[in-house]
């Protein structure tokens, strides 16, 4: 089994961190293989940022698939750019707070999340990515919820004051994701 | 009689115009442009004196000034 | 062994530290910035020296200096920065100074594109600088392999008193994978390595004309110069016999053989599995040393069965394919699967390339 | 009502620059464009762009431009200007480009008194590659390759390019400005105009050093970076005219 | 035509001037100092510009600048100095800027020896810099040929918008011979050439976004970068068809074929005459363009008669021989006759090499 | 009678230097050797030789030496000294090497305050390659690449390396001497000794610039070259201590 | 017919000029082919300097033969270095003013010239090379005496004051060479 | 009582020693060494005061001084 995931949005939305937390968890808390591949442009800010995570029971070839099993999309330009890469039957996690346009594919599962709004409600737009991570885990169950939280915790160990906020965000996301899976 | 117009797609929300406007005309808005920046709005357009300090400070040429 | 999750660039740097590298000088350039940045943090912890040179040229020459004094030393850059180092590398080859450097290739030519590519193959394998010297060139296809090859590179460099090149690419440099790290060489061993070089190293010697250190990247006398070239040649020739590294994957019964190095090699390996699953008997020859090139692996192909070779690389024009052709010697068709300029090789393109061969469409 | 201020026409209408929010590269590019427009020299302008964030303007401006290899803009400019003496030639370079890898090319061109203009954007850091130490990084300032901050013993002191050039005989006009306040923006624009005019009059080498910010790699927002410029950068790099031969009695 | 007596370096410089070269930047290095020195005297006479750059890097970039503005421009150096130019050359290839440069090769690697050699063959033909670009590379074997090839090089550079390399060596550069010079191009023609480049040259354009000059040695967008690589490839491929230059000398009935380029090619030609006089049916294939390489000339050899090929070059390890082998494709034995490090190929050694082949002693 | 003066042991007994008659490279090499002998540091000396006639001493001296690529001696020295802080490391460079192609490496090392010594032999010309113009060639002086003589408008003015470095904060000791008279020879030797001592005491960067002659490429005999040094070279390059931090109150 | 000549001596003895005058004359005043090839070391002064001249009716291969038909030797180190390259039956022109050692070959023609002495007598050691050139031409007749003089004249045109001295030197050499040929 | 000894093979005939000798002890001789240089001789050895100025000025270490 191999899962190809692409996470995309604006620079500054924590895209890379989201992908890295996921991949890191696979590395340290499972026996699976995993790759994380950031994609970058010349500009330090602005434009889209995206990264690829491949999780597999076997050896991994290219660290970026051409056909994605899942997409986590945080803004409109990324939706336009990446939607076509999602396989038929794939899942699209969409931050619909920032996206006005219609998703014009019927052959996929669409999970819409008002993530920016949720983050703002939690108290800080910066936890947007943790909300999305929570939703992703809650919905897919690809990794144990606790394992991912451990990763978040360890990585934020030097900014412990931020932990409660992130916990809140993660749990809100998990809840949202679990609930959508229930449907 | 003066007026500023924000070219919202150019604004990157740096805040320079806000900081240097002598009349507190401007503020960061709530909407984001296609690059993801919360662009500036004229919150007190009536105060504008057309000094164009905002526009001159704007790195990205996002402000047009009329007088 | 514990798995840790590391970025290629950082893994290369850590492997170097563990191999006893105690001097690194480099200059920023994407996609290898994490190498100097890692050394900047790490060297003070192990009593080593990190310097950000004022340029690639300064950096390679700092390494030439440090290595000339017997210290295990390294530099790195990407593509256009490697061009700038070519004079310094040539000096090291001429003066027979052991050093390691890494090219995390990006699109080219010129400043090119900051995204991954494999466009410096000929420069790496045929002409790392002026004068016709050769180097061992290692091409990792996973982060783990990058670690292992870097760790070993210092031994080869010291053995041969020659520069060694780690030919990586932007994918290997920037991706993260679970890896396990080799042991850190103890300080005593690192010191002993340095001591073993004192007979030629430039660190000061007792007054003794014939035995002083004279690091010579050239010779006044043309006979001496030719002799130096001939001695170097002997070293190069020994590689062909002793040091070729290659991954041969399911070539015995192959009706089509893929050949690729570095990240393309890894992508090709995955394609082989998919092709086999789809009933196509594909195999792979993946040079790990692209210099010395594993020519003889291509003799193991059963050319009666094999319909063709697909040479895969992220370079237009093709470069690696020329060596593949030399190795195949027209025993069967060699076709290419290429991309370049920062575009990453697509597994699908590889599979399509194979299918074309199988269907006789090339 | 009349439009009394808008973007210079030398910025492509449908393009937004790739610079970060508040990056003064954007300001400087705008000012250069305004000067070019005011002097009416668009049709003879050649910009030689260094490698660095400065390159992010290439697809944004509307006049001729050429990318020089990192650090070599002054050499490239020499080739263009010597064969096209009627063109308005300027280099546009960052501190890493101009003062580290390009130090020899920069100083040698200044020493020859080449009749072109150098626009030097000093943000005290390697912007494009993500915050490595530059020759102008302040003591104590952190950089990705100086994680404990620049340390005089290990890294030496920030380099002062205007002052270095002031030791040379040939340069005609050397000035240091900033863009952190409206007054400084105006001074910068005037300095650029002065430098371009010098060139058009054949006076020789001019350099305008502009002390700017790199909010992204300084790790602060654009407004805090304004304060950092004022408090820290300008303390190390005092503004003013370092040399102006037109003002010298000779 | 009047015979005049000229040194190779000066002849190259004069040929460039006559071809309309109006900008030269260079830096001293033996054995090519007479090129910049000649331009220093000559350029003021024709209204051209000579600059001694502060380095090879500065020089090549001055030329990159001048050529980007449409001026016919040139630089030159020798071996280690050429390594330093490799980044700049790669930029020119990427941005498709026409320029000419000359390498008067000396012994290597490193600073090597100031005496003549042919040790930069791979660098010249396979990897003039990073990124896998190609160039036309001309290898003169007489001073007259150096003149003619240099004169023509500017036309090729302009046609292809690509750098062109004159691959000379220390013998060609420093020897004197009677030569006749091509006509000086009239100023009007030189001006017309410059005008014809205005559509892309960087000299200032009216305000007109899409049509301004933007000299791009790289592309933000990887698709654009790959497209640039593919377009360049088309240019390179056309050379193989149209632009191969080679001297084939008495190969029809040859029982042994010598192959060599540049000064070694000339020495080999003399050896062929002596061998024929001694009753040995020798022939010669002398590539004049070493890139594109004249592969098909080797197909004209009658391999039923031919006992072997002797590949001759002033380089250890052999480099040129690899291309000869690729061309011969194992249809007969290829052996080598080599020297290096500043030693000049000996006619006797060539003759001995041939005899060994004839006597089956290799 | 006792032998009161003879060659330093740091010169190989059976070797004659390859320098031209009267070339002061030979003098400087002798003085360096005398200092090394007097300081008793032969066994920890590393000379980093630039490319130029300076290289002609490599087969003549008796201590460790390494040839740096042209212009890069200060970078090579940085690598050696940083990994061997106990060694006495000095570069030995000509004006073409140090001030043209190597300008960036030289100034950057000085700016970092590297703890080694630069011996800079300024003969105003490229000696080894046969008389091309150097950054320090005097105005009006002919060179093979400036056949009508150096011309300020075209080539700029001679560069003053000590003065340039004096703008930097880190350098510890900057001095300009000559070898054209017995007194100056003594001063040169003292300066070298001072510079080496600074290094052994960890004081940081020192440079001794020695104004010398190149009779061969100046086109005069060695004795006339002495006059040329006195009358012309020293007028442009005044001798003296440009900086000595040991003498600064701090 | 091909003649391979090597001229060797100290730097400063005008070795290159001698060779160049010879080759230049062939170029401009005959139909033959000719090459001139200077050999140089890293040092600007001192040590030996030498050059090669090949004169031929046909095409010329290497501009330096391995076996010399003639040698013009101006000092002792050069004699040691080059004597072995002279073919059996070849001619050695030797400036014996500076050379003490014996020429230990019987199979060659030895023309000894007290050239330094002759030059000093003429009034300037600098014309040593012109004396030797004269001897060479006077003896071999390989080029017309006038043709070579024309070359000298043209090359010295900017230092016309030196012509009489050179004329004297050339003629003294010619006379010496002619006389030796007579023997 | 002082004496100079010329290591003739090292002398390159530059003349520095001659120029700076306060006692006019030295002069260029007529003989050449193996490099072709007319080396220096002590023409008035008796005048030598052993000041060693000649030797210190000699670039090539061609003079030994005894006292
Ligand atoms: C030869 C070479 N070396 C390194 C690089 C990588 N590089 C790109 S931008 C840059 C630094 C830019 O810093 P600076 O000049 O200060 O400009 P800024 O981005 O800060 O404006 C570097 C090192 C390159 N492209 N080419
Ligand atoms: C990269 C490179 N460029 C050029 C040369 C050729 N070169 C050798 S010595 C020299 C100049 C030496 O001049 P300078 O440094 O002034 O030393 P000098 O001989 O005058 O003492 C040059 C350019 C070289 N060896 N390497
Ligand atoms: S024009 Fe002046 S008053 Fe009006 S918004 Fe701008 S800065 Fe404020
Ligand atoms: S200065 Fe310009 S970019 Fe910055 S916030 Fe104001 S309008 Fe936006
Ligand atoms: S990284 Fe720094 S210099 Fe570059 S665009 Fe962003 S703020 Fe400007
Ligand atoms: S050429 Fe000049 S610098 Fe070189 S050895 Fe001779 S005199 Fe000295
Ligand atoms: S020691 Fe003094 S007096 Fe004696 S020869 Fe030398 S300089 Fe003259
Ligand atoms: S100073 Fe030395 S080299 Fe010069 S003439 Fe005197 S002894 Fe000879
Ligand atoms: Mg910067
Ligand atoms: Mg010099």
Q: How many Å lie between the alpha carbon of A47 and the closest alpha carbon of chain D?
A: 8
Please give the pLDDT value at position G46.
67
Per-residue pLDDT of chain D (250 residues; tens, 9 = 90+): 899 999 999 999 999 999 999 999 999 999 999 999 999 999 999 999 999 999 999 999 999 999 999 999 999 999 999 999 999 999 999 999 999 999 999 999 999 999 999 999 999 999 999 999 999 999 999 999 999 999 999 999 999 999 999 999 999 999 999 999 999 999 999 999 999 999 999 999 999 999 999 999 999 999 999 999 999 999 999 999 999 999 986 5
C158 and C75 in a common domain: yes
Q: Which residues contact F108 (CB under 8 A, 6 or more apart)?
A: C53, C54, C58, D100, D103, D135, F74
Task: Give the 3-state secondary structure of residue D49.
Answer: strand
CA distance F118 to F116: 7
- For chains C and E, what is the number of CB pairs under 8 angstroms? 253
Output the CA B40–ligand 4 centroid distance in Å: 6
CB contact (8 A) between residue B34 and residue A76: yes
H42 in ligand 8 pocket by Cβ < 6 Å? no
Task: Give the 3-state secondary structure of residue D68.
Answer: coil
Please give the pLDDT value at position G138.
97
Please give the pLDDT value at position A183.
67
Contacts of F186 in chain H (CB under 8 A): 56
pLDDT at G174 over 70: yes
E59 and E142 in a common domain: yes
- Of the candidates D101, D157, D170, which has its C-beta nearest F111's C-beta? D157
For H25, phi and psi rounded to 5 degrees? -75, -30
CB contact (8 A) between residue C112 and residue E94: yes
Buried b (16+ CB within 10 A) or exposed e, E75-101: bbbbbbbbbbbbbbbbbbbbbbbbbbb
CATH number of the domain bearing residue E8: 3.40.50.970
F28 in ligand 6 pocket by Cβ < 6 Å? no
Chain D interface, Cβ < 8 Å to A: 18-21, 53, 55-56, 127-128, 130, 216-217
Question: Is residue E224 assigned to a domain?
Answer: no
Please give the pLDDT value at position E211.
86
CB contact (8 A) between residue E90 and residue C82: no
pLDDT over 70 percentage in chain E:
100
Average pLDDT over residues E4-33: 98
- Of the candidates F103, F154, F167, which has its C-beta nearest D163's C-beta? F167
Chain A: residue nearest D57 by CA? A43
Residue that the structure tokens 């004269």 belong to? G134
pLDDT at G65 over 90: no
Output the CA F96–ligand 5 centroid distance in Å: 37
**Range in A98-107, E303-312, H38-47 with the lowest mean pLDDT:** A98-107
| Tokens, residue C354 | 């194979």
Contacts of D90 in chain E (CB under 8 A): none
Taking CA atoms only, the protein residue closest to ligand 6 atom 8 is F23
pLDDT over 70 percentage in chain F:
99
DSSP string, C173-208: HH-EEEE-PPPPPPHHHHHHHHHHTTTT-SS---S-
H16 in ligand 8 pocket by Cβ < 6 Å? yes
Please give the pLDDT value at position F249.
62
What band does F168 get if pLDDT is binned at 50, 70 and 90?
Answer: very high
Please give the pLDDT value at position F23.
97
Contacts of F13 in chain C (CB under 8 A): 209
CA distance E40 to E49: 8
Output the CA F120–ligand 7 centroid distance in Å: 29
Q: Which residues contact B46 (CB under 8 A, 6 or more apart)?
A: none
The Cα angle at residue E66 between residues E64 and E71, in degrees rounded to 5: 120
CA distance D29 to D65: 13
Chain F interface, Cβ < 8 Å to C: 9-10, 12-13, 41-46, 48, 58-59, 62-69, 72, 75-80, 82-84, 87-88, 104-105, 108
Residue that the structure tokens 């074997």 belong to? E141
The ligand 2 atom at the shortest distance from the C-alpha of residue E29 is 6
pLDDT at B33 over 60: yes
Q: Report the first-to-last Cα separation within chain B, whole angstroms.
A: 6
CA distance F184 to F31: 12
Q: Which ligand is nearest to the CA of A11?
A: 5
Taking CA atoms only, the protein residue closest to ligand 1 atom 10 is D52
Residue numbers of the domain that contains E21:
3-198+230-240
Question: Is residue E207 assigned to a domain?
Answer: no
CB contact (8 A) between residue D72 and residue E95: no
Q: Which residues contact A120 (CB under 8 A, 6 or more apart)?
A: none
Average pLDDT over residues E350-355: 98
| Tokens, residue E22 | 């109006």
| Tokens, residue C113 | 């594109």
CATH of domain A2-182: 3.40.920.10
pLDDT at F250 over 60: no
Q: How many Å lie between the alpha carbon of H35 and the closest alpha carbon of chain G?
A: 6
* pLDDT, chain E, mean: 97
Residue numbers of the domain that contains F110:
25-249
pLDDT at G99 over 80: no
CB contact (8 A) between residue C204 and residue F87: yes
CB contact (8 A) between residue D133 and residue C52: yes
Q: Which residues contact D182 (CB under 8 A, 6 or more apart)?
A: B20, B53, B56, B57
Question: Is residue D148 assigned to a domain?
Answer: yes
Residue that the structure tokens 């200096």 belong to? C65
- Contact by Cβ (8 Å): G108, G90: yes
pTM to 2 decimal places: 0.98
Contacts of G35 in chain E (CB under 8 A): 175-177
Q: Tell me the pLDDT tens digit for each residue of E328-337.
A: 999 999 999 9
Q: What is the three-state SS of chain F? A: CCEEECCCCCECCCCCCCCCCCCHHHHHHHHHHHHHHHHCCHHHEEEEECCCHHHHHCCCECCEEEECCCCCHHHHHHHHHHHCCCCEEEEEEEHHHHHHHCHHHHHHHHHHCCCCEEEEEECCCECCCCCECCCCCCCCCCECCECCCCCHHHHCCCCCHHHHHCCCCCCCEEEEEECCCHHHHHHHHHHHHHHHHHHHCCCCCEEEEEECCCHHHHCCCHHHHHHHHHHHHHHHCCCEEEEEHHHCCC
D20 in ligand 5 pocket by Cβ < 6 Å? yes
The ligand 7 atom at the shortest distance from the C-alpha of residue H63 is 6
CA distance E337 to H67: 62
B21 in ligand 4 pocket by Cβ < 6 Å? no
* Partners of residue H25 on adjacent β-strands: none
CB contact (8 A) between residue E123 and residue C115: no
E279 and E180 in a common domain: no
Contacts of F17 in chain H (CB under 8 A): 59-60
* Partners of residue E286 on adjacent β-strands: E247
Question: Is residue F17 assigned to a domain?
Answer: no
Please give the pLDDT value at position C1.
62
CATH number of the domain bearing residue E273: 3.40.50.920
Q: Which chains touch D (3 or more CB pairs under 8 A)?
A: A, B, C, E, F
Please give the pLDDT value at position A44.
67
Number of domains in chain D: 1
For G81, phi and psi rounded to 5 degrees? -75, -40
CB contact (8 A) between residue D216 and residue A42: no
**A75 reaches B (C-beta below 8 A):** yes
Please give the pLDDT value at position D187.
98
| Tokens, residue D93 | 């370079």
Contact flag for B and D (3+ C-beta pairs < 8 Å): yes
The domain limits of chain H are: 3-66
Pocket probe for ligand 6: among G41, G44, G45, the residue whose CB has the most ligand atoms within 8 Å is: G44
CA distance E63 to E88: 9
F76, F90, F110, best to mutate vs chain C, most C CBs in 10 Å: F76
Instruction: Give the containing element (helix H, strand E) for E334.
Output: strand E334-338
Average pLDDT over residues C154-175: 98
Q: How many Å lie between the alpha carbon of G139 and the closest alpha carbon of chain F?
A: 35
pLDDT at F137 over 70: yes
**How many CB atoms are located within 10 Å of the residue G87 CB?**
16
Per-residue pLDDT of chain A (183 residues; tens, 9 = 90+): 899 999 999 888 899 999 999 999 999 999 999 999 999 776 767 667 899 999 999 999 999 989 999 999 998 889 999 999 999 999 999 998 877 778 889 999 999 999 989 998 998 888 999 999 999 999 999 999 999 999 999 999 888 889 999 999 999 999 999 999 986
- Taking alpha carbons only, the member of A74, A175, A174 closest to residue A115 is A74
- Of the candidates G23, G27, G62, which has its C-beta nearest E270's C-beta? G62
CATH of domain B3-66: 3.30.70.20
DSSP string, D151-214: -HHHH-PPP-HHHHHTTSSS--EEEEEE-SSHHHHHHHHHHHHHHHHHHHTT---EEEEEE---
CA-based R_g, chain D, Å: 17
The ligand 7 atom at the shortest distance from the C-alpha of residue H26 is 5
- Of the candidates F101, F111, F155, which has its C-beta nearest D135's C-beta? F111
CB contact (8 A) between residue E266 and residue G64: no
Contact flag for F and H (3+ C-beta pairs < 8 Å): yes
CA distance C13 to C37: 9
CA distances in angstroms from G5 to G1, G36, G78, listed in the order given: 13, 10, 14
- Of the candidates D48, D64, D104, which has its C-beta nearest E54's C-beta? D104
- Of the candidates B7, B14, B57, which has its C-beta nearest D21's C-beta? B14
Q: Which ligand is nearest to the CA of H40?
A: 8
E184 and E40 in a common domain: yes
What band does G47 get if pLDDT is binned at 50, 70 and 90?
Answer: low
Number of domains in chain C: 2
CB contact (8 A) between residue F20 and residue G46: yes
Average pLDDT over residues G154-165: 90
Task: Give the 3-state secondary structure of residue D74.
Answer: helix
Q: Tell me the pLDDT tens digit for each residue of C225-244.
A: 999 999 999 999 999 999 99
Average pLDDT over residues G108-117: 94
Strand pairing class (H63-66; F3-5): antiparallel
Which of these three, E215, E240, E265, is where a domain ends?
A: E240
CB contact (8 A) between residue E217 and residue D64: no
F123 in ligand 6 pocket by Cβ < 6 Å? yes
Taking CA atoms only, the protein residue closest to ligand 6 atom 7 is F214
- Of the candidates E114, E176, E263, which has its C-beta nearest G36's C-beta? E176
Q: Which ligand is nearest to the CA of B38?
A: 4
């Amino acid at each position: 089994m191999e899962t190809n995931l692409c996470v995309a949005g604006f620079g500054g939305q924590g895209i890379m961190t989201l992908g890295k937390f996921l991949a890191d968890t696979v590395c340290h808390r499972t026996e699976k293989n995993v790759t994380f591949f950031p994609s970058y442009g010349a500009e330090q800010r602005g434009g889209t940022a995206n990264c690829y995570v491949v999780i597999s029971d076997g050896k991994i070839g290219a660290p970026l698939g051409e056909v994605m099993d899942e997409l986590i999309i945080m803004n409109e330009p990324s939706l336009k750019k990446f939607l076509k890469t999602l396989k038929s039957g794939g899942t699209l996690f969409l931050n619909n707070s920032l996206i006005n346009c219609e998703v014009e594919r019927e052959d996929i599962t669409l999970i819409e999340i008002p993530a920016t709004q949720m983050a703002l409600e939690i108290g800080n737009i910066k936890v947007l990515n943790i909300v999305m991570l929570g939703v992703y885990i809650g919905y897919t169950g690809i990794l144990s919820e606790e394992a991912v939280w451990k990763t978040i915790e360890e990585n934020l160990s030097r900014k412990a004051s931020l932990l409660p906020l992130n916990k809140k965000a993660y749990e809100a996301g998990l809840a949202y994701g679990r609930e959508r899976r229930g449907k | 009689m003066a007026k500023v117009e924000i070219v919202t797609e150019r604004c990157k929300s740096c805040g320079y115009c806000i900081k240097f406007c002598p009349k507190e005309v401007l503020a960061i808005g709530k909407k984001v442009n296609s690059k993801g920046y919360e662009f500036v709005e004229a919150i007190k357009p009536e105060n504008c004196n057309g000094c164009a300090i905002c526009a001159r400070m704007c790195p990205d040429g996002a402000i047009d000034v009329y007088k | 062994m514990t798995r840790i999750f590391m970025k290629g660039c950082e893994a290369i740097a850590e492997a170097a530290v563990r191999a006893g590298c105690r001097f690194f000088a480099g200059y920023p350039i994407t996609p290898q910035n994490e190498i100097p940045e890692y050394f900047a943090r790490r060297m003070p912890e192990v009593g080593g020296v990190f310097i950000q040179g004022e340029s690639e040229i300064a950096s390679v020459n700092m390494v030439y200096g440090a290595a000339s004094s017997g210290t295990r030393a390294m530099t790195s850059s990407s593509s256009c920065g490697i061009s700038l180092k070519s004079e310094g590398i040539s000096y090291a080859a001429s003066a027979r100074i052991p050093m390691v450097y890494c090219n995390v290739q990006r699109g080219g030519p010129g400043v090119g594109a900051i995204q991954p590519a494999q466009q410096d193959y000929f420069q790496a394998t045929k002409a790392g600088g002026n004068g016709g010297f050769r180097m061992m060139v290692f091409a990792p296809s996973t982060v783990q392999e990058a670690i292992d090859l870097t760790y070993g590179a210092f031994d080869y460099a010291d053995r041969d008193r020659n520069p060694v090149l780690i030919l990586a690419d932007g994918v290997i440099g920037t991706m993260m994978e679970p890896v396990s790290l080799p042991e850190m060489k103890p300080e005593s061993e690192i010191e002993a390595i340095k001591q073993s070089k004192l007979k030629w190293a430039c660190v000061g010697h007792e007054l003794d004309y014939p035995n002083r250190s004279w690091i010579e990247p050239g010779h006044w006398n043309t006979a001496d110069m030719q002799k130096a070239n001939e001695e170097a040649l002997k070293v190069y020739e020994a590689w062909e016999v002793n040091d070729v590294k290659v991954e041969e994957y399911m070539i015995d019964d192959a009706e089509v053989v893929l050949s690729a190095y570095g990240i393309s090699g890894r992508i090709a390996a995955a394609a082989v599995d998919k092709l086999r699953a789809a009933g196509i008997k594909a195999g792979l020859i993946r040079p790990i040393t692209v210099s010395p090139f594993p020519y003889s692996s291509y003799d193991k192909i059963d050319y009666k069965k094999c319909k063709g070779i697909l040479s895969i690389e992220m370079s237009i024009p093709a470069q690696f394919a020329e060596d593949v052709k030399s190795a195949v010697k027209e025993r069967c068709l060699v076709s290419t699967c290429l991309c370049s300029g920062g575009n990453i090789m697509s597994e699908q393109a590889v599979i399509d390339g194979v299918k074309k061969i199988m269907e006789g469409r090339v | 009502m009349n439009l009394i201020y808008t973007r210079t026409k030398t910025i492509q209408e449908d393009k937004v620059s790739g610079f970060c929010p508040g990056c003064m590269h954007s300001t400087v590019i705008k000012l250069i464009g305004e000067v070019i427009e005011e002097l009416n020299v668009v049709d003879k302008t050649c910009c030689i762009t260094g490698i660095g964030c400065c390159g992010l303007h290439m697809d944004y401006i509307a006049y001729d431009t050429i990318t020089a290899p990192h650090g070599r803009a002054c050499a490239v400019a020499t080739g263009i200007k010597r064969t096209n003496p009627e063109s308005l030639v300027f280099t546009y370079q960052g501190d890493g480009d101009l003062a580290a890898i390009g130090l020899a090319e920069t100083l040698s061109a200044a020493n020859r008194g080449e009749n072109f203009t150098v626009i030097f954007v000093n943000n005290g850091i390697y912007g494009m590659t993500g915050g490595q130490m530059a020759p102008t990084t302040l003591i104590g300032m952190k950089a990705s390759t100086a994680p404990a901050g620049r340390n005089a013993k290990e890294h030496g002191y920030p380099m002062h390019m205007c002052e270095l050039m002031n030791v040379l005989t040939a340069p005609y006009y050397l000035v240091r400005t900033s863009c952190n306040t409206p007054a400084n923006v105006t001074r910068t624009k005037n300095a650029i105009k002065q430098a371009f005019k010098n060139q058009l009059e054949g006076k020789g080498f001019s350099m305008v050093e502009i002390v700017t910010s790199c909010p992204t790699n300084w790790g602060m927002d654009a407004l805090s970076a304004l304060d950092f410029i004022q408090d820290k950068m300008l303390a190390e790099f005092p503004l003013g005219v370092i040399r102006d031969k037109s003002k010298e009695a000779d």
